[in-house]
């Protein structure tokens, strides 16, 4: 029933059918002109590929220690140097990147799926249901996040899955608010009334007519959520609540590096640079997407 736009068999129309440019296509053209956003996309692509495939071509594992070597500055054998236990920093950066990116993506996905559905329901049905749902969000907003996470960790033990859930469970609140507001404004538009006049079902109206029109803000907010989530993971790891050794994440590496930055500055500089670069890239991409998808700037 929720079939996407049906394709047109060419036979019935004699004249050649002109292809239209969807708003998505226009947005893509605008995005491509934004240099910072393009830079962000490339940087993210390279970092992701490196983190995924880098460890496969490296000679060291993330927990292979070389206590004789200890902390060594960058060299031909260890391009980014080693930490105090003689572990190769580059390999640990790759593995840490996998964890950080995975946390960022999956927690954002959790936030996205809960937030969009919740916000769309509250916004579409409105009235008392909306009031109850959104006041619940307000109450959850007021809970202090670190205490929430610490409680979770105390009750359920340290677990990386739990970390995703904890972060996702907090981040969806903002997403729900954004989606609700957008749905409320779209739902009053005449094309929704037209859809109701045509006798379309609620599901079809929500998924075919409303959500595609709020996708822009959702995409933008998603790209801006990922860095937020990665920062949270770093923050939790910094507090010792996140990823546990010998596994690494960028947050863990930065924490370790910060402790020894006076003696072995490269342990802070490299993870810090990569992490900042990723966050910058995501933010540039998010800003670029916001400009590209903004309805006001699209031709009318």
Partner 1 sequence: MAETILQLTGVKTHFPITSGFLLRRHVGTVKAVDGVTLAVGQGEVLGLVGESGCGKSTLARTIMQLVPTTAGTVVLHGRNLANCSAADLLGARRDMQMVFQDPYASLNPRMTVFATLAEPLLVHGVCPPGEVNARVAELMRTVGLAPRFMQKYPHEFSGGQRQRIAIARALALQPKVIIADEPVSALDVSIQAQILNLLAQLCRRMNLSLIFIAHDLSVVKHISDRVAVMYLGKIVELGPARAVIEHPRHPYTRALVSAIPTPNPDVERSRQRIVLPGDPPSPINPPAGCAFHPRCPHAREICKAAIPPLALFEPGRDVACVRAEEIAEL
Residues of the shown chain interacting with partner 1 in the complex, contacts defined by CB under 8 A: 3, 5-6, 8-9, 12-13, 15-24, 128, 131-132, 189-191, 193-201, 204, 208-209, 212-213, 295, 298-300
CB of 113 to partner 1, least distance (A): 21
Helix H or strand E encompassing 71 = none
CB of 118 to partner 1, least distance (A): 19
Question: Between 19 and 59, whose beta carbon lies closer to partner 1?
Answer: 19
Measured CA to CA, the distance from residue 291 to residue 285 in angstroms comes to 10
Question: Between 78 and 209, whose beta carbon lies closer to partner 1?
Answer: 209
Burial of 99 (0-12, 13-18, 19+ CB in 10 A): buried
- Rg (the chain; Cα; Å): 23
Measured CA to CA, the distance from residue 8 to residue 22 in angstroms comes to 16
Question: Between 22 and 276, whose beta carbon lies closer to partner 1?
Answer: 22
Measured CA to CA, the distance from residue 48 to residue 39 in angstroms comes to 14
CB of 32 to partner 1, least distance (A): 19
Question: Between 147 and 198, whose beta carbon lies closer to partner 1?
Answer: 198
CA dihedral 242, 243, 248, 253 (to 10 degrees): 20
Question: Between 139 and 194, whose beta carbon lies closer to partner 1?
Answer: 194
User: For the chain, how many residues are written?
Assistant: 300
Instruction: Supply 226's token pair.
Output: 């990922």
Longest Cα–Cα distance of the chain, Å, equals 79
CB of 121 to partner 1, least distance (A): 18
CB of 294 to partner 1, least distance (A): 13
């Amino acid at each position: 029933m929720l079939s996407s736009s049906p394709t047109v068999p060419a036979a019935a129309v004699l004249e050649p059918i002109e292809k239209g440019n969807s708003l998505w296509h226009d947005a893509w053209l605008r995005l491509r002109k934004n240099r910072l956003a393009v830079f962000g996309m490339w940087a993210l692509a390279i970092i992701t590929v490196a983190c995924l495939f880098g460890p496969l071509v490296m000679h060291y594992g993330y927990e292979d220690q070389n206590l004789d070597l200890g902390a060594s500055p960058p060299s031909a054998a260890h391009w980014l140097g080693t930490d105090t236990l003689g572990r190769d920093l580059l390999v640990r950066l790759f593995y840490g990147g996998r964890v950080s990116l995975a946390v960022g993506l999956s927690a954002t996905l959790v936030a996205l799926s809960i937030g969009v559905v919740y916000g769309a329901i509250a916004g579409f049905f409105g009235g008392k249901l909306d009031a109850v749902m959104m006041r619940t969000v307000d109450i959850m907003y007021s809970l202090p996040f670190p205490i929430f996470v610490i409680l979770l960790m105390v009750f359920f033990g340290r677990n990386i899955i739990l970390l995703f859930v904890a972060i996702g469970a907090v981040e969806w609140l903002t997403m729900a608010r954004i989606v609700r507001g957008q749905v409320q404004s779209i739902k009053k538009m005449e094309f929704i009334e037209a859809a109701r006049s045509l006798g379309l079902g609620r599901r079809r109206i929500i998924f075919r007519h409303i959500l595609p029109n709020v996708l822009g803000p959702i995409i933008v907010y998603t790209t801006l959520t990922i860095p937020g989530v990665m920062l949270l993971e770093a923050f939790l790891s910094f507090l010792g609540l996140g990823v546990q050794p010998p596994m690494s994440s960028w947050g863990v590496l930065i924490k370790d590096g910060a402790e020894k930055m006076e003696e072995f500055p490269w342990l802070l500089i490299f993870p810090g640079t990569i992490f900042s670069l990723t966050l910058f890239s995501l933010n540039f991409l998010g800003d670029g997407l916001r400009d590209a998808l903004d309805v006001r700037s699209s031709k009318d």
